[in-house]
């Protein structure tokens, strides 16, 4: 039963081949039996899952069930869940239990999904390897000596290990697409504003966006269709007519123009990863698509710009965690200054502290124009590169990551090497564009991801393109377990 995709689960539940309760009990047993090897979950919500499964079966029996009714999912532990600990994988929020659901949790609950638990992640979503979690690193199901990518490594590993068919995740600079690439899953970051950020603990507010991780493009389309909505509680939420992202999956892609940026195939890209990506591009040519050479000239500036803007926004967003209102509070503070310093020093891990310091420095009076303002100007240039490219092409493709998964601990002592893992994904966030990663091969039995970047609000086309590729290849069916 755990090998079923979401689409297959939908058909099985609707035909009553099995019940949501049977499905849920089976997956909960797998999590209990296997997750000690991966550490992909922080919290397992067995009682809630069984009650939701029972309610789903009742809706199905009455013929009142939405499409996803009874399908089990998991939520990244940065997404607030009413009455369930939401820790952001940090000591700071180890004891935080929200009194409300995030909008995307509300939407998926309304669609009848069953919540199996909260997945592990890099602390406050800051990281590319899922090694900075207060609860220990997540391990890649393809090789448990390797990282699963980050920051949504728990969601990706849980899907790859067939513990759950789909999971929510967030992407600030690649944190859905990069772990999807390293675990042979399909991950999609929507256009900025497509999915409400209300109830998602903020890292960098102008970059954060939630999306799904699943086994294939069809499953991601089902999840995204339920996640998307206009939300008056989020001032950046886009007010668009609701879309069924599964509707155009079977459309032909003959005549599609695929932009291939020369900057994505230069120094730093693993040769075997490049070969797998080129093989994927040839498959698209066979499907009738046309490859167009393009240039995104400011690509090399994406990482320096991001690592000014994101830490600056994080330093402001994380100032609320002061030991006064909620979260970790130090023992016996001498005075207010001591309370602030020790609560934050004890509650935040090393990477979070590093980014707060960098961000505070970039926003300080003497350096704001030199760093933050300049980074925002560079961001505009990066966005303009994409605008000009999309005048000539329909989608842009390239590698998701420079190489397959690296070993746990291999880059922990070198933050810059870790930051370079996101070299191909960050520009999409800076521009606010949608992007996704799909499996396109293996190198030394470790997965490689193909990144597809779409134009604004063009998630349907991206999913169609990915689905058509997955109809003629079987990389997405390769399993770690």
Structure tokens at 336: 């207010």
Q: What are phi and psi of 187, to 5 degrees?
A: -125, 140
Contact criterion met (CB below 8 Å) for 86 and 77: yes
Report the C-alpha gap between 471 and 455 in whole angstroms: 23
Q: How far is CA 277 from CA 144, 344, 368, 440, in A?
A: 24, 43, 40, 7
Q: Which residues are catalytic?
A: 76, 151, 175
**Selection from 421, 410, 312, 323 nearest residue 361 by Cα:** 312
Contact criterion met (CB below 8 Å) for 450 and 400: yes
Q: Give the residue ranges of DSSP H helices in 93-152.
A: 103-110
Report angle CA 229, 168, 356 to the nearest 5 degrees: 100
**Selection from 417, 411, 481, 422 nearest residue 449 by Cα:** 422
């Amino acid at each position: 039963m755990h090998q079923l995709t979401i689409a297959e689960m939908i058909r099985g539940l609707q035909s009553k081949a099995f019940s949501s309760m049977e499905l849920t009990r089976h997956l909960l047993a797998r999590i209990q039996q296997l997750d000690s090897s991966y550490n992909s979950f922080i919290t397992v919500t067995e009682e809630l899952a069984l009650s939701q499964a029972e309610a789903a079966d009742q809706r199905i029996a009455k013929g009142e069930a939405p499409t996803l009714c009874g399908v089990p999912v998991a939520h990244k532990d940065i997404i607030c869940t009413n009455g369930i600990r939401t820790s952001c994988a940090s000591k700071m929020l180890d004891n935080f239990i929200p009194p409300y659901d995030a909008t995307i949790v509300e939407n998926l609950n309304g669609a009848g999904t069953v919540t199996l638990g909260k997945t592990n992640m890099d602390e406050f979503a800051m990281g590319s390897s899922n090694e900075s979690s207060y609860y220990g690193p997540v391990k890649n199901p393809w090789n448990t000596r390797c990282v699963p990518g980050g920051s949504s490594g728990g969601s990706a590993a849980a899907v790859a290990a067939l513990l759950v068919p789909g999971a929510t995740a967030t992407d600030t600079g690649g944190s859905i697409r990069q772990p999807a690439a390293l675990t042979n899953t399909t991950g999609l970051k929507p256009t900025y504003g497509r999915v409400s950020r209300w109830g998602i603990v903020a890292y960098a507010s102008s970059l954060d966006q939630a999306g799904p991780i699943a086994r294939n493009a069809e499953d991601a389309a089902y999840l995204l269709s339920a996640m998307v909505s206009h939300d008056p509680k989020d001032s950046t939420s886009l007010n668009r007519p609701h879309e069924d992202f599964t509707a155009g999956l079977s459309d032909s892609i003959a005549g599609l123009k695929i932009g291939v940026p020369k900057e994505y195939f230069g120094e730093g890209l693993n040769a075997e990863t490049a070969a797998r990506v080129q093989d994927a591009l040839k498959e698209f040519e066979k499907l009738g698509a046309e490859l167009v050479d393009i240039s995104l000239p400011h690509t090399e500036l994406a990482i320096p710009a991001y690592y000014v803007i994101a830490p600056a926004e994080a330093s402001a967003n994380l100032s609320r965690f002061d030991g006064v209102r909620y979260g970790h509070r130090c023992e016996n503070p001498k005075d207010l200054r001591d309370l602030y310093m020790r609560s934050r020093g004890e509650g935040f891990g090393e990477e979070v502290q590093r980014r707060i310091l960098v961000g505070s420095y970039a926003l300080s009076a003497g350096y704001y124009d030199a760093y933050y303002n300049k980074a925002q100007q560079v961001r505009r240039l990066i966005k303009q590169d994409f605008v000009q490219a999309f005048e000539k092409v329909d989608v842009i493709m390239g590698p998701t990551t420079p190489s397959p998964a690296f070993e746990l601990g291999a880059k922990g002592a070198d933050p810059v090497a870790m930051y370079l893992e996101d070299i191909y994904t960050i520009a999409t966030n800076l521009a606010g564009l949608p992007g996704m990663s799909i499996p396109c091969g293996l190198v030394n039995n470790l997965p490689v991801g193909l990144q597809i970047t779409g134009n604004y609000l063009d998630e349907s086309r991206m999913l169609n393109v990915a689905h058509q590729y997955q109809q003629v290849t079987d990389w997405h069916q390769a399993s770690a377990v």
